Chains A and B, each alone.
Chain A
């Protein structure tokens, strides 16, 4: 069997975080009652005129800058004509030959290797409505009609489903960092279509391209592409030919299905939108917007490595969300040792957040409180083990570590005499084990430590317990 490689390009639709639609003042709020967020403009009544939302335009420019694009000094909108009930005007206002952003790239890391994925273009367009299929009818909700979208089109630089997932993740991270999209795939604020083809390794020209639609989670990006690539290779291996078509990812069945759309359905007859004037963006405007960009994920990641001495793994994880990175830096600023803060965040904190299905924004523990708890460990007031209990309590109650330690009497026992008393107690009540230990079963030390810790409710300093036990056992 020949070796094949996949050529993948992604088209990602990102819903912009504006308060109103792209060409009218209707709200973009998600989850409202059907057909309560429409007006004559977005329902395409005769005689109305669309007016571009300034924020949507600035968000598109902002995104272009964050993805290293050239911002077009002159761009315009176009009509994409097709008839479908979720599109009341009979055309979608989009951009065609003069998009707002072009020629960018973002970087991904796959298996430790850095790779650049080109961004062909980013353009603005309006979303369509939502159809619900019911019996022999379809129901139409036009709330989403006119919600501002960016379509971010990648170059066919992606070579595997894994790279596609990394690309999607990086895209989402950047969009969230710069505050233009919430990246919520379940609610459809980030949607992905893929162009996939395969070719024998070494062949120059691309194979026949298939468009896969409806890929709406990271998991499905990988599964849908995996399936489609295998399907295409199988067709070729069996001597068949591929047809250029659109296929729909059916997540329930785990397959892509041909939509059997005829070629002529793609005759969109684009033409410049006469109802909207062109958009010009000068250097000053671009630079003004650039100045408001936050530190981007890649730069932050590099800084976390150099400034805090974190391993790449930690830096990756902590910079995957801006809020997480901010939380981290706040804790370090409050005096937490950088690696210790990272360990606690990636361990206990993430575990508790995941259990509660919460995000860092809702974390009841404040960064300074984690730093405060780490200080107690450093001072020897509490052991690392007790700290876990303390941290859980902090998460539950929002109280400071010190308060909890005092309230619950969790202060570590470092007083040798106090520990020695318990050590003697344990040895006296386990004469058989002491005998076995003396006969060479040294691993029983763990048993004794365990007993002491149990009696002290985990508060004894483990190091001191160990030392005192060995000392006493030797003396016996």
Chain B
């Protein structure tokens, strides 16, 4: 399966990534190769197999509604590239 430039641009946009013209070609080829590789699975006959979303035969893993300690503010914001005293700070996201 071929991923064309348009699709690469679309995916990049959805991922909020800016990529160069050159990268568009590289990623296009790489993504196509990945899909070709996965395509191999289609060689299997799965007519009698129920589709599954999970390989583990487990359901209802649940926890009780009991509060646990949250991260201290300094730990929470510790890795943020930009912050104020109490908030993460990001480029303006509304026009």
Interfacial residues, chain A to chain B (CB-CB below 8 A): 18-20, 24-27, 33-40, 43, 51-57, 76, 81-85, 131-133, 135-142, 264-265, 267, 269, 272, 274, 276-280
Residue in A81, A82, A137, A274 whose CB lies within 8 Å of B89? A137
Q: Is the CB of A264 within 8 A of B53?
A: no
Q: Which of B18-68 contact A (CB under 8 A)?
A: 53-54, 56, 58-68
Q: Is the CB of B15 within 8 A of A83?
A: yes
**30 intermolecular pairs with C-beta atoms under 8 Å apart:** A20-B68, A24-B68, A35-B88, A37-B70, A38-B71, A39-B68, A39-B70, A43-B71, A51-B61, A52-B61, A52-B62, A53-B63, A53-B65, A56-B65, A85-B88, A137-B90, A137-B91, A138-B90, A138-B91, A138-B92, A142-B76, A265-B14, A267-B10, A272-B53, A276-B61, A277-B58, A277-B59, A278-B54, A278-B59, A279-B59
Q: Is the CB of B71 within 8 A of A27?
A: no
Residue B3 is within 8 A (CB to CB) of chain A in the complex: no
Question: Which residues of A are found within 8 Å of B59, using beta-carbon distances?
Answer: 277-280
Q: Is the CB of B92 within 8 A of A20?
A: no
Contacts A38-B76, A139-B87 hold; do A264 and B63 have CB atoms under 8 A apart? no
Question: Which residues of A are found within 8 Å of B10, using beta-carbon distances?
Answer: 264, 267
Residue of B13, B15, B60 with highest tally of chain A CB at under 10 A: B60
Question: Which residues of A are found within 8 Å of B92, using beta-carbon distances?
Answer: 133, 135-138
Q: Is the CB of B70 within 8 A of A38?
A: yes
Interfacial residues, chain B to chain A (CB-CB below 8 A): 10, 13-16, 53-54, 56, 58-68, 70-73, 76-77, 84, 86-94
CA of A132 to CA of B90, assembled, Å: 10
Q: Is the CB of A142 within 8 A of B53?
A: no
Question: Which residues of A are found within 8 Å of B70, using beta-carbon distances?
Answer: 26-27, 36-39
Q: From residue A292, how far is it (CB to closest CB) to chain B in Å?
A: 15
CA of A19 to CA of B92, assembled, Å: 32
Question: Which residues of B are found within 8 Å of A25, using beta-carbon distances?
Answer: 63, 66-68
CA of A19 to CA of B64, assembled, Å: 10
Residue in B closest to A51 when the chains form the complex, CB atoms: B63
Question: Which residues of A are found within 8 Å of B86, using beta-carbon distances?
Answer: 33-35, 141
Q: Is the CB of B88 within 8 A of A139?
A: yes
Question: Which residues of B are found within 8 Å of A84, using beta-carbon distances?
Answer: 93
Contacts A25-B68, A34-B86, A139-B84 hold; do A54 and B62 have CB atoms under 8 A apart? yes
Q: Is the CB of B63 within 8 A of A142?
A: no
Q: From residue B14, how far is it (CB to closest CB) to chain A in Å?
A: 6
CA of A56 to CA of B62, assembled, Å: 10
CA of A225 to CA of B40, assembled, Å: 51
Question: Which residues of B are found within 8 Å of A33, using beta-carbon distances?
Answer: 73, 86
Q: A26-B70, A82-B14 are in contact. List 17 more A-B contacts (CB 8 A).
A: A35-B76, A35-B87, A37-B70, A38-B70, A53-B65, A76-B53, A136-B92, A137-B92, A138-B93, A138-B94, A139-B87, A265-B14, A277-B54, A277-B56, A277-B61, A279-B60, A280-B60
Q: Is the CB of A53 within 8 A of B62?
A: yes
CA of A84 to CA of B92, assembled, Å: 11
Q: From residue A231, how far is it (CB to closest CB) to chain B in Å?
A: 21
Q: From residue A274, how far is it (CB to closest CB) to chain B in Å?
A: 7
Q: Is the CB of A34 within 8 A of B13?
A: no
Question: Which residues of A are found within 8 Å of B61, using beta-carbon distances?
Answer: 51-52, 276-277
Contacts A38-B76, A85-B93, A140-B88 hold; do A20 and B14 have CB atoms under 8 A apart? no
CA of A272 to CA of B55, assembled, Å: 12
Residue in B closest to A34 when the chains form the complex, CB atoms: B86
